[in-house]
Amino acid sequence: MPIVKNFFIGLSNNTLLNNAAKEIGPMLGANKVVAGNTIPALLDTIERLNDKGITVTVDCLGEFVDTEGEAIQAKDQILEVMYAINNHNLNGHMSIKLSQLGSEFDIDLAYRNLREILLKANEFNNMHINIDTEKYDSLFDITQVLDRLKGEFKNVGTVIQAYLYKADALVDKYPELRLRMVKGAYKEADNIAYQTKEEIDENYIRLIKKRLLTAKNVTSIATHDDRVITHILQFIKDNNIPKHRYEFQMLYGFRTELAEEIAKDGYNFCIYVPFGDDWFGYFMRRLAERPQNLNLMFKEFTKPEVLKKAGIVAASVTALGATIALFKKFTSK
């Protein structure tokens, strides 16, 4: 449903809603998909997942970084989380957006910040640092920084968004890096990315297979799609892919039972754990990927006490729910 997806992407980019949501996140059920906004809360989540045989990759949430001071603050928070994970002997690593580190206004600043993070990661048992992908406009900056760093550091990787036409070339370019394979969560033009679910799914499965057969490093298969998981598990079995060459990934708070089931079956499993107050943009993009996830938050928004206190954010998402309901009714005729 492209209209619904575009709506969620628009909300994710709304500065007013993002700022308002920081104040009321827990009331709206953000704690269901974000591991709190304090280091102790995050560590409790990581420890609980580790006890179930699941590793984590932590995303220190942040949107709209516009100044050097904000970029340095984001870098310092990432370092603080790394220290905490290392000092508590937990099994986790970091996922970082280059825009948090200043890339949208100073690419050299972002490079310096990321290099400082990687240097510290080397001291922490070579902790992996993943550069998350963002909108297509940022792809050149991400690959430019990655290419500068990959010769010096062996613990850096990135994400491949299967809906991009360039995804094939990127898989070919980085066989030696640890890569996370995702379908893609941003709105891109049809000259840049596949548009239909069928096309995206087909390319996603094809790229995962290609990567599993050719990669020299770990492939992270990030999906909640049962059909894709079943298909890839059979491919892994048919081609005798060793377990150390891949892992499955899911988002914190989504399909928890399935994640634990796969981990219990002996497969390497990692949960993507968001952390911090800037939860709104992150969650809206998750809804854009899978609008069915709206039910998780909509139940919280429609409680009378939330509608009374939450103001603009609650009203917006309540209106969104009504819009979707009307759209479904219209398209079903």
What pLDDT score was predicted for residue 280? 63
Q: What is the mean pLDDT of the chain?
A: 83
Mean pLDDT of 261-278: 92
Residues 303 and 233 in one domain: no
Identify the pLDDT of residue 19: 53
Residue 37 is predicted with a pLDDT of 80
Rounded average pLDDT over 185-210: 93
* Residues 190 and 274 reside in one and the same domain: yes
pLDDT mean over 131-154: 94
Give tens-digit pLDDT for 210-236. 999 999 999 999 999 999 999 999 999
User: Checking phi first, is residue 182 left (phi over 0); if not, alpha (psi -120 to 50) or beta?
Assistant: beta
Give the tens place of pLDDT for each residue, 149-194: 999 999 999 999 999 999 999 999 999 999 999 999 778 899 999 9
**pTM (2 d.p.):** 0.80
What is the total count of domains within the chain? 2
Q: Does residue 77 have a known ligand-binding role?
A: no
- Domain holding 265, by residue range, is 35-289
Are both 26 and 162 inside the same structural domain? no
Residues 70 and 191 in one domain: yes
| Rounded Cα–Cα distance for residues 118 and 129 (Å) | 7
Residues 168 and 250 in one domain: yes
Residues 11 and 115 both lie in one domain: no
Closest CA to 74 of 102, 111, 100, 95: 100
**Region for residue 266 given its phi and psi (left: phi exceeds 0; alpha: psi -120 to 50; beta: otherwise):** left
CATH number of the domain that 141 lies in?
A: 3.20.20.220
Q: What is the rounded average pLDDT of the residues 43-49?
A: 96
**Strand, coil or helix: 267:** coil
275 and 226 share a domain?
yes
Residue 254 has a pLDDT of 83
The answer to whether the annotation marks 38 as part of a ligand binding site is: no
Query: In this model, does residue 127 exceed pLDDT 70?
Result: yes
Q: Does residue 263 register a pLDDT over 90?
A: yes
The closest alpha carbon to 162, from 113, 222, 80, belongs to 222
Q: Which amino acid is at 94?
A: M
pLDDT interval class at 12 (50, 70, 90)? very low
79 and 214 co-located in one domain: yes
Q: What is the mean pLDDT of residues 257-284?
A: 86
| Whether 295 and 284 share a structural domain | no
Among all residues, which ones are annotated catalytic? Answer: 132, 180
> Residue range 111-135: average pLDDT?
96
Cβ–Cβ < 8 Å for 246, 216: no
Establish whether 285 is an annotated binding residue. yes
Q: Please report which residue ranges of the chain form alpha helices under DSSP H.
A: 2-12, 15-24, 39-51, 68-87, 107-123, 139-149, 167-173, 197-214, 226-238, 256-264, 279-289, 294-301, 304-310, 312-331
Q: Are residues 96 and 192 in the same domain?
A: yes
| Band of residue 298 on the pLDDT scale cut at 50, 70, 90 | low
224 labelled as ligand-binding? Answer: yes
